[in-house]
Structure 1
Amino acid sequence: MVVATFSLVAQDPETGDLGVAVASKFLAVGSVVPFARAGVGAIATQSYANPRFGPQGLALLEQGAGPEGVLEAFRRTDPGLERRQFGLVSARGEPLTFTGGECHPWAGGRAGKGFAAQGNLLAGPQVVEAMVETFLQEERVPFPERLLLALKAGEEAGGDKRGKQSAALLVVGEGKGYGGLWDRYMDLRADDHPEPVEELFRLLSLHRLLFERPKERRPLAPEEVRWLQGVLRSLGLYAGEVHGEFDEATERAFLALIGMENLEERYQGGPEVDEATLSYLKRRYPWS
């Protein structure tokens, strides 16, 4: 299969997080191209993609191989390498981008400390250049948004010359996944969409609402507790009085509501809530 696509593999120099952003005129590109493991590296495999490059490359990096070592291993084990394209960044920020001589034009890439950008069947080299320049310029933007801004820049520079269909964002960070139990922090996909990159921005915003762990919280005011108790009573989660005190029964009911709304990553128990969670609930259950 020809995964004609453009991708950016990168590392966040501040946190060490690793990520891949990718877009293509290809169904569900996120199921084939991106691979990443916290503390090890990230890889994008495309153009007559060999999906084994993901787990194989990560295993080699984990064993101490450098990017050139990974390339040489692929060269030994894959007779179709000249049709392949891949980019990788190790946990040490070491990059590599490879484009085989049999990839469909325009095909190529650019790599630097902490990033590797590449694409094939593109409108031209300006697609890769736009991704790189945007990624380097947007250093103050949070890492996931920075990856998507670079992807959008590549799209606006012409992207896949066949058109648009899917896009994906994969970001990993130690203990940043759901419940703090694994490293897959974000795994967002627009598998078949007329504007897949824009859809990823929407999904990223929703992801931040539902799964981001807030740094600041504040106690609920008595009138907010009364509103909350009224909501909980109307949903059949709370049978107590609407008295404005955040007691044990209110907390149990509130925990149930938080779970129903998929906000459990944001709530730490007790009467303290972050503003984003509170704003969402007030919109969902009208506040007057």
Structure 2
Amino acid sequence: MTYSIVARSGDSLGVATATCTLAVGAAVPAAAPGVGAVATQARTNRAFRARGLKLLRAGAAPDEVLAAFAQEDTAFGERQVAVLDADGRGAVWTGPECLAWAGGWVRPDVVVAGNLLAGREVLEKMDAAFAAHPSQPLADRLLAALAAGEDAGGDRRGRQSAALLVVAGPQDCGWPPPTIVDLRVDDHADPVGELGRLLALDPAAGSSAGAP
């Protein structure tokens, strides 16, 4: 029911997500500088956000984070989770009970994932849009990925909310993390477009570039 991208650029980490349900930013993304980023979706287990960051802080690799979730959550087959650490290593899980089209993949510094999508092309367009402009601020690249996913069909039920979260810095600062960008559109006819309008108003957004 959601499509997300989790990515790193230099010492910046971020998550962008959109869906056809209310307030996706309150449920899906989490990130901490010097630690990593998480997107939890499908039948969302919100506890994965803090738990995932805790495991990354303890030295777990992203695939080990997913293995821990699988052991701890009896409904893991209904979940979809993307994890990226501060070194750009990623992992993704799409449970067999997620609604089609559902899937995701990992490449260095990027994880894309989605469920109940119009098709695989949603994630393909997101990934390509993110890669197209490596020198731009991370927030801009993440927003471009969301827009490309929506143009490719996005959530096949429609659209309602979107969110963008970017943190930066080499040091873990605990919870809640200091954020460069933390924008949420909870209920809107054009949530990704509205997210772009808000990003353009945010004076801190231009500092989220990091070094590609």
TM-score, length of structure 2 as denominator length: 0.92
Provide the rounded CA distance (Å) in 2 between the counterparts of 1:93 and 1:149.
Answer: 20
The alpha carbon displacement at 1:140 in A equals 2.1
The residue aligned with 2:113 is 118
CA distance in 2, matches of 1:73, 1:45: 14
SS in 1 for 2:17: strand
Kept after mapping to 2: 8 A contact 1:8/1:22: yes
**Counterpart for residue 85 of structure 1:** 80
Amino acid at match of 2:189: P
User: Does residue 1:35 correspond to 2:35, yes or no?
Assistant: no
From 38, 46, 49, the equivalent of 2:41 is 46
* Residue in structure 1 matched with residue 6 of structure 2 by the alignment: 9
Structure 1 segments of 4 or more deviating over 6 A?
none
| TM-score (normalised: structure 1) | 0.68
Tell me what 1:143 maps to: 138
Q: 1:213: how far off? A: 8.4
Q: Any residues of structure 2 matched to 1:101-250 within 5 Å, and which?
A: 101-174=96-169, 183-208=178-203, 211=204
2:71 to 73, 76, 85: 76
Contact 2:23 2:161 (8 Å CA) reproduced: yes
Instruction: Give the counterpart letter for 1:61 in structure 2.
Output: L
Q: CA deviation at 1:212?
A: 6.1
Alpha carbons of structure 1 residues 79 and 108: separation in structure 2 relative to 1, 3 Å: same
SS at match of 1:184: coil
Aligned residues: 203
Aligned counterparts of 1:108 and 1:145: Cα–Cα separation in 2: 24
Q: Which residue of 2 aligns with 1:99?
A: 94
Distance in 1 of aligned mates of 2:26 and 2:57: 22
Structure showing greater Rg: 1
Is residue 174–residue 182 contact of structure 1 (8 Å, CA) maintained in 2? no
Larger relative contact order (CA 8 Å, sep ≥ 6)? 2
Deviation, structure 1 residue 141: 1.6
Which residue is equivalent to 1:271?
none
Question: Which consecutive residues of structure 2, in runs of 5 or more, have no partner in the other structure?
Answer: 171-175, 208-212
- Distance between the aligned counterparts of 1:19 and 1:169, measured in 2? 7
Q: Which amino acid aligns with 2:137?
A: P
Q: Is the 8 A contact 1:174 1:183 kept in 2?
A: no
Point out the more displaced range, 132-141 or 38-47. Answer: 132-141
- In structure 1, the gaps of 5 or more residues are 176-180, 215-288
- Look up the equivalent residue of 1:207 and give its one-letter code: D
More strand by share: 2
- Percent identity between the aligned chains? 48
Correspondence list, 1:253-264, <5 A: none
User: Structure 2: how far apart are the matches of 1:21 and 1:182?
Assistant: 17
Counterpart residue number, 1:253? none
Alpha-carbon separation, structure 2, partners of 1:213 and 1:188: 14
